[in-house]
C-alpha cells in the first residue's frame, strides 16, 4: 500500500484544496476529510482531480472520524502527511504525529502552509 496524505478540513476548503493539488501532482494520494457538507457545485470543484478523494463527515462525528482515520493510517504505516486547518487540531495531533513520524502541515485561513 502506498503512503497517503490526510487533510482534516474544518475551516475553509480552498487552502486545503490547493495544498492537495500540489501533493497529488507530486504523486502522493490525498484524502480530504471535510467537516460538514457543501453544495454540489463546490463538491464537483473539489472532487474532480485524480489522486484526491473527498469524504464529507457530519460535524457531530468529525472528531471521531478524524481520530479513526489518523489512527488507522498511522498503525498501517500509510500516513505520510497530516494537514489540519485549526490550531486545536494541530495541538491534538502533534504528539501523535511525532510518535509515528508523520509530517504535519497547518493551513491558516489565509491559505498559507506552515511546516
Whether the model pTM is above 0.85: yes
Query: What's the pLDDT band for 44 if we cut at 50, 70, 90?
Result: confident
Q: What is the pLDDT of residue 67?
A: 96
Q: Residue 115 pLDDT more than 70?
A: no
Q: What is the pLDDT of residue 114?
A: 54
Q: Residue 47 pLDDT more than 80?
A: no
The pLDDT of 4-24, averaged and rounded, is: 89
Q: What is the pLDDT of residue 13?
A: 78
Q: Does 3.40.50.2000 match the CATH number of domain 4-114?
A: yes
What is the Cα–Cα distance from 89 to 10, expressed in whole angstroms?
Answer: 9
Q: In terms of Cα–Cα distance, which of 29, 38, 34 is closest to 16?
A: 34
DSSP characters over 21-68:
HHHHHTT--EEEEEES---HHHHHHHH-STTEEEEEE-GGGHHHHHHH
Q: Where are the domains of the chain?
A: 4-114
Amino acid at each position: 500500500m502506498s503512503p497517503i496524505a490526510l487533510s482534516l478540513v474544518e475551516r475553509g476548503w480552498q487552502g486545503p484544496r490547493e495544498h492537495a493539488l500540489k501533493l497529488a501532482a507530486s504523486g502522493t494520494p490525498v484524502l480530504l476529510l471535510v467537516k460538514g457538507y457543501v453544495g454540489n457545485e463546490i463538491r464537483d470543484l473539489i472532487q474532480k482531480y485524480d489522486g484526491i478523494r473527498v469524504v464529507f463527515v457530519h460535524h457531530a462525528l468529525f472528531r471521531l472520524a478524524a481520530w479513526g482515520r489518523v489512527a488507522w493510517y498511522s498503525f498501517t504505516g500509510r500516513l505520510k502527511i497530516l494537514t489540519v486547518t485549526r490550531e486545536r487540531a494541530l495541538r491534538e495531533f502533534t504528539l501523535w504525529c511525532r510518535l509515528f513520524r508523520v509530517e504535519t502541515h497547518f493551513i491558516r485561513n489565509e491559505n498559507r502552509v506552515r511546516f
